[in-house]
Structure 1
Amino acid sequence: MHLDGCMKRQVSLKGQDNLFLPLQELRSDSVSEVLNFVDVPPPHSGVVVYDALCKYLQNWGIEGKMCSISVDNASYNDAAVRMLKDSLSFYKRLHLNDKLFHVRCCAHILNLLVHDGLSKIENVIDNVRESVKHIITSTMRLTMFSDIVKQLQLPNKRLILDCYTQWNATYAMLSCVLEFNDVFPQYAQRDVISIFQVMKIG
């Protein structure tokens, strides 16, 4: 059994940066099953993540059935997996002499690679993000933007604000903004109270 434990970050209503551990079992018959979502409140350290993993593995009685685990590259995950590996090794519960126990999350590695490439145009992306945020956070500004879209007879699509940690969301935001290439210069002429220069895309 392979356990996928890639962490998901979420800021709580109290402003706490919580980690959610979606524990997913991948069985040999290629069936994937979500076992549970575990809330891991701060502070985030290897010991805290390790304790959360151990607690649920023992509760479900599967600590001796794991052959591998995949997590993202956060340092606390490395520490937690190292502690988990030591614990399972002590009880001789690791398969294949633990050679394949810690599997890096491919999606996270891909995300890091793409973000490294996007860093070359970071100023452009930041400008686009701030411009989109400026427009969509005000009903008046959004109405003004929509009126220009109608005047230019463009498709009535919504602007997308990305989540900066997810490259595919950044791609969706940039693709959407490019469709409004002719709208932004006209919008910048009308929004004279803007606290920053709305970008010209093109």
Structure 2
Amino acid sequence: MDLKKFVNALNPNYELPSRKTVSNTMLPATYEEENFMAVTAHFIDDNFKSHSALLDCVSYGENHTSINLASQLKLIIQEWNLEGKILMVISDNAANIKKAIKEELQLKHFGCYAHTINLIALDSLKHATKILDKVKSIVAFCKRITSGMAKLIDQQKQQGRDPKRLVQDVVTRWNSTYYMVDRFVELEEPIRTTMALLNKDFPVISLEEWNFLKELIHILEPLENVTKLMSAENYVTASMTIILTDGLLAVYKNMKELQFEDISKKIISIILDGLTNRLGNVEQSNSLVLTTFLDPRFKNVGFCNESIPEKAKKSVLSLLSTKISSQNKNSASTTTANTVSSSSTYQPESESKETTTKCSVWGNFEKRVASL
């Protein structure tokens, strides 16, 4: 007995929800009802090797007030005996969690860089909703209907391609939209042929819209590159924040001077405004300045403001002197001298050999390295 017959036997008046209702309404609603708080610790061991560890992931049913969030975080901190050992807390940019960390727990907070980029990208993509809805509709059909995907794969084989599948985007992940559009444009010819053969009522994508989709990939690529870099777990990312922000600003300022469709120009302007307003002047953050200065890849080459490296050097020397004096006053002056020499003579190697392009987020940094 199948499910329909079973349900009908229980209650003939009950109508099972359709696949569309389950996919588009019921599952998303259930997902929204589930709330979790995950806390991950990032630390360096005695051998200066970085580690990450999930401390807790708890189902969270209370109101998401800053007090409640702070209370839950405090329990986790106490459970792991981390009082007084936390240098900085990274979270998304929601006002409640920021207040919980900064005001309730009195801890230093920094908004997740990748999440900020995600918000900027999502804001810009709102102006491409019409064409993106067309793409999503075609992708959804091919993903849902077996014959549609089979035709698409067959067309790719006939054209001598290694067959690839279309990519469906996820609402909360802007870069999934980038991947969807990138694959869609890559398969433009087999998609056009498949749509004609299936003879379905597909949305019409004009030549101008295809051109825009190609421009959109070009526009979003720098954001995607930075998102990948800043989402890594196997290396320190904070020290790249200043350099990548400067690089993104330079890239999108250059893009404003290029020939694009009007809608593309609008998206570029929104991204540029978002970078300026949401990130601000990252060189004003003492923590980010110090992490960049102490990163052997960047040191005093990683800043736009020429006065920052000297200030960072003085700050590092002051911190070192204080630390050394508390341990061994006699060795303070010798160690400090060695630090000054190391900071002022280091020059990056591999970065200076790479080709600088207008779309490289490392462009400004590479120019500074090349000028040394």
Normalised to the residue count of structure 1, the TM-score between the two structures is: 0.73
Q: CA deviation at 1:136?
A: 0.6
Contact 1:40 1:49 in 2 (8 A): no
Considering only CA atoms, is the larger Rg found in Structure 1 or Structure 2? 2
Greater fraction strand: 1
Paired AA for residue 104 in structure 2:
L
Q: For residues 141-161 of structure 1, what are the alpha-carbon distances to aligned partners after superposition, in whole Å with 9 as ceiling and x for unaligned?
A: 211222222223322112111
Please name the residue that 2:203 is paired with. Answer: 197
CA distance in structure 2 between the aligned counterparts of 1:197 and 1:113, rounded to whole angstroms: 28
Quick check: 1:165 aligned with 2:184?
no
Please name the residue that 1:21 is paired with. Answer: 37
CA distance in structure 1 between the aligned counterparts of 2:131 and 2:63, rounded to whole angstroms: 33
1:89-168 correspondence runs (5 A): 89=106, 101-168=108-175
CA distance in structure 2 between the aligned counterparts of 1:114 and 1:145, rounded to whole angstroms: 30
What RMSD over aligned residues (CA atoms) do the two structures have, in Å? 2.8
CA distance in structure 1 between the aligned counterparts of 2:204 and 2:49, rounded to whole angstroms: 49
Label 1:13 to 1:128 Cα distance change in 2 as closer, same or farther (>3 A). Answer: closer
Contact 1:149 1:183 in 2 (8 A): yes
Greater fraction helix: 2
Contact 2:37 2:60 in 1 (8 A): no
- Structure 2 alignment gaps of length 5 or more: 1-25, 212-372
CA distance in structure 1 between the aligned counterparts of 2:197 and 2:203, rounded to whole angstroms: 12
Match of 2:170, SS?
coil
Contact 1:71 1:105 in 2 (8 A): yes
1:74-93 correspondence runs (5 A): 74-82=94-102, 84-85=104-105, 89=106
Q: CA deviation at 1:12?
A: 7.9
Label 1:164 to 1:14 Cα distance change in 2 as closer, same or farther (>3 A). Answer: closer
CA distance in structure 2 between the aligned counterparts of 1:114 and 1:13, rounded to whole angstroms: 22
Q: CA deviation at 1:123?
A: 2.1
CA distance in structure 2 between the aligned counterparts of 1:124 and 1:38, rounded to whole angstroms: 38
- Structure 1 alignment gaps of length 5 or more: 1-10, 90-97
**Aligned with residue 51 of structure 1, among 46, 53, 71:** 71
Label 1:111 to 1:151 Cα distance change in 2 as closer, same or farther (>3 A). Answer: same
CA distance in structure 2 between the aligned counterparts of 1:49 and 1:131, rounded to whole angstroms: 41
Contact 1:16 1:42 in 2 (8 A): no
Quick check: 1:66 aligned with 2:86?
yes
- Percent identity, aligned pairs only? 22
CA distance in structure 2 between the aligned counterparts of 1:132 and 1:162, rounded to whole angstroms: 9
Normalised to the residue count of structure 2, the TM-score between the two structures is: 0.42
